[in-house]
Amino acid sequence: MMTSICIGWINILVVNFNNELQMMGVNYGQVADNLPSNDAAVNLIKSLGAGRVKIYNSDAGTLTALAKTGLEVVIGMSNDEIPSLAASSAAADEWIVANVVAYVPATNITVILVGNELFADPTNSNIWPQLVPAIQNLQTSLTSHGLSSIKLSTACEFNILTSSFPPSAGVFNSQIAVPVLKPLLEFLDKTSSYLYINIYPYFAWADDPSSIPLNYAVFASIAATLTEGQYSYTSLLEAQIDAVYYAMEALGYKNVRIALSESGWPTAGGTGANIRNAEDYNNNLVTYILSGKGTPKRPRVFIPTYIFALFNEDLKPGPATEQHWGLLYPNGSAVYPISLAGGSSPGDPSFPLPSPDSTGSNSDLPPGSPDACGDRESVLPLSATFLGMLFDLRI
């Protein structure tokens, strides 16, 4: 049974799955030199209707600003911090005292993510086997301080899978599957925590926009685009998530749940990176997640999700898209209409979507402006050959 209630500024769905709150989250990154104060940013997070916020560190100013807001807070740490926490239970306890005990219960810290995309960089391979020992030491400390309700995990990149097509063939990278991910999943299973994973359908679509239907990438398909056995997929994200479920099952863990630590769509800097596509993707993502639909393989299982990102961040390194993922401009104005509490909808569906090669160079224009949208691409069924290419991209 599902009941809709309203608490303050958050519209929340409560389900009878461990009394879990169904609400959206947002990533609050701060790699910029023009962002508003922490207090102002927190007010903006609340105004968007988010119920959760994820930060990439344990910054004192941010955690203080999040106190007494009701927001569930996920904190993180750098990959470089892992070795010392793995080597010393005392160091792990010091970290918990300084970064958690000092702020709870006023700041509602619910999750600690130990590292971010640790497996994406082979130069970190010496840290990989230290991940679970670090998590275990942190867990021991949390328990000693009466904070065992705070969950521990790590945020993984999607390319921890070496195969994901069809979804049932999902398998983890053999370098980390047994030595690292199996003990991680064992820990997550025993503590009822989640495997946090960053999944961006945008990257797979942008690599082959002439073959991948844009509708399939932005949750706009009505009919199934991919069917595998009894399961039919109308969105790329669902297929990608199910591939992770299958990979976990292959290691013997069929009950560990998934949280999307990052997902979103850029508004400038790359193929199809424009306001209209981002508006469609993120609004449809909110609708999908808050529906509690789950995936074809695990229906009606809620997936906690954090949209990337709160702001455009002008100092982020890397490709041009990196600076254009925000729901908000640094001055606090909306890049496009969206409510993380649900109820918002993407732009007029009768208006053509941007052409696949639109780079969003006019991303400051509102959706529907002549320079922001072009002809809509034709939408064709996915071929088996294309799908093999798509999922082998492992983005």
**Residue position matching structure tokens 């961006």:** 200
Q: From CA 320, how far away is CA 300, in angstroms rounded?
A: 37
- CB crowding 80-101: b at 16 or more within 10 Å, else e: ebbbbbbeebebbbebbeebbe
Across the chain, where does the E strand assignment appear? 2-7, 10-15, 21-22, 25-27, 52-54, 72-76, 109-116, 151-157, 161-163, 171-172, 194-198, 226-228, 231-233, 257-263, 305-307
Could you count the other beta carbons within 10 Å of the beta carbon of residue 162? 16
- Cβ neighbourhood burial of 195 (10 Å; 0-12, 13-18, 19+): buried
Instruction: Show the tokens assigned to 80.
Output: 């470089």
Distances (CA, A) of 194 to 99, 186, 214: 21, 11, 30
Our answer to whether residue 322 is catalytic in this structure is no
Please name every residue paired with 111 in a beta bridge, in sequence order, or none if there are none: 74, 151
> Residue 142 has what DSSP assignment?
H
Which residue of the set 72, 81, 238, 262 is catalytic?
Answer: 262
Which residue of the set 117, 157, 313, 377 is catalytic?
Answer: 117
Our answer to whether residue 117 is catalytic in this structure is yes
Q: From CA 358, how far away is CA 199, in angstroms rounded?
A: 22
Distances (CA, A) of 300 to 44, 185, 289, 358: 30, 22, 10, 36
Kindly tell me the sign of the dihedral angle through the C-alpha atoms of 138, 144, 145, 151: positive
Chain centroid to CA 19: 22
Q: Are 390 and 161 in contact (CB under 8 A)?
A: no
- Cβ neighbourhood burial of 14 (10 Å; 0-12, 13-18, 19+): middle
Phi and psi at residue 268, in whole multiples of 5°? -165, 160
3-state SS assignment for residue 262: strand
Residues carrying an active site annotation = 117, 262
